[in-house]
Amino acid sequence: METQVIIIGIAAYVLGSLPIAVLVSRGFHGKDIREHGSGNAGATNVFRVLGKKTGTAVLLLDILKGFTACNLVYLSTSPIIFENLIPAKIVLGLWAVIGHLYPVFAGFKGGKGIATLLGMVFALHYLLALACIGVFLVVLLSTQMVSLASITAALSFSFFVFLIFGFEEVKLLEFGFVAAALVLFTHRSNLKRIWNGTENKVNI
């Protein structure tokens, strides 16, 4: 059983490591997205450099990575896993996010993990995902800053968990704190630019 769990965990990391932005930009536009715009291998940079259609495709595929990774749990036959389904999904999803941040197929230089995190949240509870998307859109429309919208949405996750479940889903609350810390870490350069008033804005 332990071997099976390890294999599924590795599969989640490998899935997360698929550099969708790089593959799509090279395959359909003959460009390496890491050499253009902000240099980030994520959906936001693809939107800026290659347009809405390609950006949307990358965004959806990155979301799918997180969603699929969480649901790899159903490949397990371990009763221990099914007795701890939410924690198991969280672990697998985080492995996918780590894969997205540090992809083995792209020199361990990936995106910032927001879309893959969102896919995780959809796999955990779709209402929480929709609530976070709502926060994201409100902040994006009012500030035109994707980074600030992403950070705010991540910080709001634990609030929505508490609002819906109270303290009944402690593991989701704990995940919310981990996710918020992870997003703050990956957006530390954005936070500096936001503070200095030099952060990039999108033309909505």
Q: Where are the domains of the chain?
A: 1-120, 125-204
Q: d(Cα 38, Cα 186) in Å, to the nearest integer?
A: 14
What is the mean predicted confidence (pLDDT) over 2-13? 88
Q: Is the whole model's pTM more than 0.75, yes or no?
A: yes
169 pLDDT band, cuts 50/70/90, is confident
Q: d(Cα 28, Cα 47) in Å, to the nearest integer?
A: 14
Q: d(Cα 64, Cα 61) in Å, to the nearest integer?
A: 5
Higher pLDDT, 156 or 83: 156
* Token pair for 173: 């609350």
Q: How far is CA 135 from CA 6, 42, 73, in A?
A: 35, 20, 29
- Supply the pLDDT for residue 204: 67
